[in-house]
Structure 1
Amino acid sequence: NYKKALSQLEKFIAQYHNLNELEKQGLIQSFEYTYELAWKNIKDFYENQGEINIQGSKDAFRLAFNRHLINNGEQWMQMMEDRNLTTHSYDETISNNIIQNIYQNYIHLFRYLKKALENIENN
C-alpha cells in the first residue's frame, strides 16, 4: 500500500541526520518500494479512466504531470533516474546523493501525490 510505504519512508526521513550505514540502505530500499508503488498507483488510477498506454514509470509520471496530478515534472524525472541508480547503492557517493535527494526533494513529491490521490478519493 502506497500510504504505508510512504509512512515507512517518512520514519527514515525523520532520522535522516542520525542514520548509520545499515539504516541508509534501509532508507534506499524504502524509497525504491515507495517509488514503485507511486507509479503503479498512478498507472492504476489512469487505467481506471481508460488509459491503456502506460508502459512504465516514465509514461505514468508524464501523464500525471500533464494532467496535473503531480507537480514538478523535472524532479519526478530526476527521481526516476535516481531510482535506476539505486542498484549501485554500494557506491557511497551515489548512495549519499540519492539519500540527499530523497530528503530534500522526493519525500515532498511523494507527499503531494498522496494528497492529490486522497483529494480525488474524497470527491
Structure 2
Amino acid sequence: MTSSKDIRWKQRFENFERSYKRLNKYASGSITNELERAGIIHFFEMTFELAWKVLKDYLEKEGFIVDSPRQAIKQAFQMGLIDDDHIWMEALEKRNMTVHTYDEETAKELTEDIVTSFLPAVRTLYRTLSEEW
C-alpha cells in the first residue's frame, strides 16, 4: 500500500527532476551574458528549493522530522543521500544571498559556483534519488 508521504516525495521528485534537467541543460552550454547568467541563477534557485524539499519529503517518508533546509541537508548527509554537506550548506547560503543581492560581479561568481560545485552536487542527489524511485 502506498502512503501519502510516499506519493508526496515522488511528486516532488518529478518537479525536482524537471528543474534539475533544465539547469543541467543550460549550465552545460556557454554562459556569456547577463541574461544567460540570470537564467542560470534562477534555475539554480528553483532547483535548490525543490532539492531540499524533496529531501525533506523523502526523509519524512523514512520517519524523520525535518523543519528546515539545514536539517534536511544534515540528515541527508548522515544517510548518505548527499556526499558533501559543506557544498550543500554553501549552496544554501548562496541561494539565500541571491534573493537579496544582484550585481554583475556577484552573478559571474555565483554562476561559476553553480556550474563547478553546486550542479555536480545536485546531479549526485538526482542520481541517488532516481535509484530510490
**Normalization by structure 1: what TM-score?**
0.90
Instruction: Give 1:82-93 correspondences, 5 Å limit.
Output: 82-93=94-105
Aligned: 1:6 with 2:20 = yes
Alpha-carbon distance, 1:42 to partner: 0.3
**Among candidates 46, 51, 55, match of residue 38 of structure 1:** 51
Percent of paired sites with the same residue: 34
Aligned length: 119
Specify every segment of 5 or more residues in structure 2 that has no aligned partner in the other structure, as ranges. Answer: 1-14
Distance 1:11 1:69 in 2: 23
Partner of 1:47: 60
Distance 1:18 1:4 in 2: 20
Alpha-carbon distance, 1:89 to partner: 4.6
**Alpha-carbon displacement from aligned partner over 1:13-48 (angstroms, at most 9, x marks no partner):** 122x34321121111010000000000000000111
Specify every segment of 5 or more residues in structure 1 that has no aligned partner in the other structure, as ranges. Answer: none
- Partners of 1:43 and 1:60 within 8 A in 2: yes
- Partners of 1:2 and 1:37 within 8 A in 2: yes
Distance 1:114 1:75 in 2: 15
- Give secondary structure in 1 for the equivalent of 2:64: coil
The one-letter code matched in structure 1 to 2:114 is I
The one-letter code matched in structure 1 to 2:49 is E
**Normalization by structure 2: what TM-score?**
0.84
Partner of 1:109: 121
